[in-house]
Amino acid sequence: MIEHPRGIWEFVADAFVLLQYTQLRRSDLEQAVALLARRRLRHAVVQSPRQYGLFGRRGASGLRHEVDAGIVASSWIGLIEVKSSEAISKNDLLIFDGKTMDLYLDRIRNRRSGPHYRFFLSAVPIQPEPAAFAMQRAIILVEPRLVPIPFLLRLVGALQLGVGPTGADMALLIRSTQPMEGIWRPQRGELLLLLDGFDAIDANAARKIQGSWTDLVLDGLEGSEPGWAAKRWRSIEAHLNSAVQVETR
C-alpha cells in the first residue's frame, strides 16, 4: 500500500477527534488546529493562524493569501484551511484551491521542496458535491462524521478486519489524497497537468467508499482499543489547555 508521509495520518486523526468533541469556532478553532499540529509534528515548523503568505512568501501572482495554518515537516509541506461556518459551499473550496495553487506555483518557480499536501478542516459535515470537487483536486478533507482518508487507509492496513476495499477502491482513495505534485508535476521548468482519468464520477465514488468504510473501521478500532476517541480527546484537551496557559502567562 502507498502510504502518506510520516505525520499526516496522525495529524488528521487528531483533527478528526478534535472536530468531534470541541465546540470551538472561528479563530479559536484555527488556533487549536495549529496547536494540534505542533503537538503531533514535534520536529515541524507550524505557521500561526491568519498569517498572510506561506512562511513569508507571496503567491506567484504577487498576492499575499491568508493561510489558516502552514506546516513544514521533514518530508512534506502542509497548507491548511479551517472552516466553522454552518455550511461549506463550493466557493469555499474554489477559493482554497485557487490560493493554494498560487502559493504552490511560487514555491515551484523558486525551487522550494515538497511534496505539498492540502487540508480542509470543517466543523460541519460537507455535502457530497463540494466534497467530490475537493477529492478530485486532492484536497484532504477532515470533518466530524467521516474518517479522514489517510487515517482510514492506515486503519485498513493495521486492523484485522477480515475484509478490505478492493484494489480499485484503494486506488481511488489514494488518488484523492495525493500531493499537489501528483496532479501538477514540475518537470524541466514546466508544470505538467496529469490527466489520469480521475473525473467527477471517480471523485463521487471515492466519497462513497470513504462513507461505506467509516463505520467498519471505527468499529474495528473500538474493538481493538475500547474508548480510543475519548482517550485521544483527553490527551488533546490537556495539551490545548496547557498551551493556552503558557501563552497567557
The total of other beta-carbon atoms located within 10 Å of residue 64's CB is 16
**What is the spatial distance between Cα 34 and Cα 123, in angstroms, rounded to a whole number?**
15
Write the CB contacts of 54 (distance below 8 Å, at least 6 apart in sequence): 47, 65, 67, 70, 79, 103, 107
* CATH 3.40.1350.10 matches 8-243: yes
| Helix (H), strand (E) at residue 122 | strand 116-122
What pLDDT digit, counting tens, does each position of 11-57 carry?
A: 999 999 999 999 999 999 999 999 999 998 988 999 999 899 999 99
**Position 247 pLDDT exceeds 60:** no
Q: Strand, helix or coil at 189?
A: coil
pLDDT at position 2 is 57
pLDDT at position 157 is 83
Average pLDDT, the chain: 91
The residues spanned by each domain of the chain are 8-243
**Position 249 pLDDT exceeds 60:** no
pLDDT at position 188 is 83
**Position 248 pLDDT exceeds 70:** no
pLDDT range class, residue 126, cuts 50, 70, 90: very high
Q: What pTM, to 2 d.p., does this model score? A: 0.94
Q: Three cell numbers at 159?
A: 486492523
**Position 246 pLDDT exceeds 50:** no
